[in-house]
Amino acid sequence: MLSNKHILGMDDLSADDIARILETAESFAEVNTRRIKKLPTLRGLTVVNLFLEPSTRTRTSFEIAAKRLSADAINFSASASATVKGESLRDTAATLAAMSCDLVVVRHKYAGAPRMLAEMMDCSVVNGGDGIHEHPTQALLDLYTMKRALGRLEGLRVGIVGDISHSRVAGSLVPALRKVGATPVVIAPPTLLPSRPDVLGAEVAWDLDEQLASLDVAYMLRVQMERADGMPFPSLREYARFYGMNAARLAKMKPEAIVMHPGPMNRGVEISADVADGDRSLVLTQVESGVAVRMAVMYLLLGGADSGVAA
């Protein structure tokens, strides 16, 4: 079990919770390598994916995770849902509650929507990304991926590079790294940093090249054109020149250092195609880990630990 019923942000998880999730995910990762990848653990329980913002990767990851644990997984997507017909989040919550679901995974363009939903419903709520706020399961799968690749989390120096101010991924990854004893360094031009980056609890740097040699992980963020008000830098070429990961920059990193990206990638902007497809890029490993980590989250939230199936 975890210390909270919901995972709305990293504040809901203690260091012990994180360790338990990563450990449980290990056993599910093994299940995911079998030919028959299904466990009966959550049979009879209903997981609703309420995705009110476009998403393929995260939604399918939660859906596969629920199905591999034999839960009934139901997708509510933005275009299909009544929200486009003007239904309020309160009405959507009441409708879902009337269908007696056990877990709702919500993605919403407004920060705070998952918390509102959690207050209105009896079931567990997991934040699948809310506005520019948090995306906690992304941070958990990133920790899992780093630990598998580098053998530890404590003491790692992780550069999170790019659009920090619009990134819910950074919003969860910075506190997640701090909880496990790693050092987050946010690296961005000042126009892509929040106005008080120090309150994030990360080190702050403007010059990527100066940081390269000291990093264990370069975590590249997507430049979020849809969220930027006006152009925060002169051109995409200019951005790539100063903040893009490429072969020359990778060569300046420690030989064992890795490159990560939450996807979707803008190839040629924040990451060059050769690095993205190269053997030090863990982009696809992150996607793979996502399923095991989300299985662990669902299993622990829904009391699966009592059934003794995985752990």
Torsion angle of the four alpha carbons 37, 39, 43, 49, in this order, in degrees rounded to the nearest 10: -50
- Reply yes or no on whether 58 is catalytic: yes
- Binding flag, residue 179, ligand NCD (CB under 6 A): no
Among 68, 115, 147, 168, the residue binding ligand NCD under the rule CB under 6 A is: 168
Whether the CB-CB separation of 58 and 107 falls below 8 Å is answered with: yes
- Reply yes or no on whether 166 is catalytic: no
Site string for ligand NCD, 262-291 (x = CB under 6 A): xx----------------------------
CB of 200 to ligand NCD, least distance (A): 17
- Reply yes or no on whether 267 is catalytic: no
Among 59, 108, 115, 222, the residue binding ligand NCD under the rule CB under 6 A is: 222
Residues 1-40 that bind ligand NCD (CB under 6 A): none
Please identify the residue of the shown chain whose CB is closest to the bound ligand NCD: 222
**How far apart (Å, rounded) are the C-alpha atoms in residues 220 and 162?**
7
Given the residues 135, 147, 166, 249, select the one marked as catalytic.
135
**How far apart (Å, rounded) are the C-alpha atoms in residues 203 and 192?**
15
Total interface residues for ligand NCD by CB under 6 A: 11
CB of 222 to ligand NCD, least distance (A): 3
- Reply yes or no on whether 56 is catalytic: no
Rank residues 24 and 55 by Cβ distance to ligand NCD and give the closer one.
55
- Reply yes or no on whether 5 is catalytic: no
- Binding flag, residue 58, ligand NCD (CB under 6 A): yes
Which residue type, as a one-letter code, is found at position 47?
Answer: V
Strand ranges across the sheet with 203-205: 203-205, 183-187, 157-161, 217-220, 258-260
Whether the CB-CB separation of 52 and 116 falls below 8 Å is answered with: no
Given the residues 46, 58, 83, 92, select the one marked as catalytic.
58
Residue in this structure with the two tokens 């079998």, named with its chain if needed: 34
Given the residues 34, 35, 85, 196, select the one marked as catalytic.
85
Rank residues 263 and 268 by Cβ distance to ligand NCD and give the closer one.
263
- Binding flag, residue 138, ligand NCD (CB under 6 A): yes
- Binding flag, residue 129, ligand NCD (CB under 6 A): yes
- Binding flag, residue 135, ligand NCD (CB under 6 A): yes
CB of 195 to ligand NCD, least distance (A): 21
Instruction: List active site positions.
Output: 57-58, 85, 107, 135
The site for ligand NCD (CB under 6 A) is made up of: 57-58, 129, 135, 138, 168-169, 222, 224, 262-263
